Amino acid sequence: MTLPSDLLARFQDALRRAREAQIAQWESSSRLVGQPRVLETLARLAAAVRSSSLDPPVCKALLAALRDGRAARIQDLDGARLKELTGLPATKAVRALCVFFHLVATPGPAAAPPPEQIEAFLRANRNPYDLLLDAEAASLLDLGAGDLSFADELLSQYGPRLRARQKTLTLHCVDRLRPGSRLGGRLHADQDRLRKLQRAGKSLAFRFWGNQDMFALANVKGLLPRYTLVTCHGPATPTFAYEPSRVSAPVIEAHLRKTKGEFRPVRVEGEPALEVLHAGRALLFPPWKFEIRGPLALLDLMARRGLAIVLGAVDSEVFWEILAQLVDEDRVRPRDVVFTPANVPEVFGPLYTALSSLPIGKAMPLDQVAPLRRTIPRVSADHGPPGPTYRFRYVEVRRGATFDGLPSSQTARLFKDMPEETPPWMLTLVPDDADI
């Protein structure tokens, strides 16, 4: 029997909303469809359908597809009918129905290791992503995910190892580019990678949010409160290259016009954009390209969301501005001084000498060469109660774009083809739990 299209659409929409609203239950539902629990699950699911208040035609169709609860395996179900009813293949359909009918127990929060334990792990292990193998519940949030090349590499390297440990990786990606926009070029989410990640199987809980400002996550449904790791690869310039609490807006704008060129808002085929006149060419960018948020906003966001943080492929312009906020020396935060290759050696002094002599591929705990800042100001309440200050208990600086054994982004791999660029940096940070 074919259901009326409006009835089917309402049911599928309700099923989708249940999954989105109960992301933790959805991720836990994979345990209900494996042996030896699947037989019990299918019987409970059929009983839930029978006692539900769904429209009778929907109940009847679901019970038929579920073989009235008498099936012993997922393969015994009417997979084609289940997909017609739910829009999902058989296993995911059963999981979604279990969430919809509240058959999945609400999982308790995984105990997060204390920050001193994470610090000890990172001091002893050269690969911060190995935290995913060590964590009770492996999770990663990638901010500014771009073409999803990092997410793809992460899954390739860690998916098999996590499956061998019978662990699910929660991988969430956020990017501000609007899908379908003609602006942004190859930084858009690659559709083949997106489909690959979406179809990776039950050992990966993957979601991608496009057209999403990373500084407006408070009401995004499905995000975890905190992740094992929060990453950002190639943090944008000029967005994070100037700290607005240190450098005033007129100084920043004057420097941008001098170094980037004149710029103005325009519309391209009805879409808002930023036109930049650079070296005799008119370049088009998303309208927010020159919005200045500064490293304090980025660090604040990442510290709230992650037990540990990785900033990769950080160009020198952004790196020194970030570093100035991490060191407990006021002299590295001069008022209204834009950092340039000419003045950075003088501003940072011995710290510049120590870090600039770091060989490619080598790492150094920052506290070996400078005291870490004891109180870093909060700059936004978008991600929870502001709390006046916080701190990082561990910061590691590494020189280079890509490293053996570490997944990387396409942005990082492009540095090898840009000889005019100085080698980039990588930062690994552990926020203290106080005031997070």
E runs forming strands in 279-323? 281-285, 306-314
Phi and psi of 284, rounded to 5°? -110, 135
What pLDDT, on the 0 to 100 scale, is given for residue 21? 76
pLDDT tens-digit readout, 48-57: 898 888 888 8
* Selection from 192, 202, 196, 206 nearest residue 142 by Cα: 206
Find the range with the poorest average confidence among 39-43, 300-304, 383-387.
383-387
**Where does the pLDDT of residue 108 fall: very low under 50, low under 70, confident under 90, or very high at 90 and above?**
low
H helices of 51-89, in order, are 56-65, 79-86
pLDDT tens-digit readout, 241-296: 999 999 999 999 999 999 999 999 999 888 999 999 988 889 999 999 999 999 99
Please list, residue by residue across 308-329, b when 16 or more beta carbons sit within 10 angstroms of its beta carbon and e when fewer do.
bbbbbbbbbbbbbbbbbbbbee
219 or 398, higher pLDDT: 398
Task: Retrieve residue 193's tokens.
Answer: 């990678």
**Where does the pLDDT of residue 219 fall: very low under 50, low under 70, confident under 90, or very high at 90 and above?**
confident
Domains defined for the chain, CATH in brackets: 5-100 (no CATH), 115-241+291-431 (3.40.50), 249-285 (no CATH)
pLDDT of 110 higher than 80: no
What pLDDT, on the 0 to 100 scale, is given for residue 14? 86
379 or 22, higher pLDDT: 379
| Average pLDDT over all residues of the chain | 90
pLDDT of 436 higher than 60: no
What pLDDT, on the 0 to 100 scale, is given for residue 142? 97
pLDDT of 402 higher than 80: yes
**For the chain, percent of residues with pLDDT exceeding 90:** 60
CA angle 73, 76, 82 (to 5 degrees): 105
What pLDDT, on the 0 to 100 scale, is given for residue 102? 87
What's the average model confidence in pLDDT over 328-350? 96
**Strands 262-268 and 169-174, sheet pairing:** unpaired
CB count in 10 Å sphere of residue 64: 15
Instruction: Check: CB of residue 313 under 8 Å from CB of residue 319.
Output: no
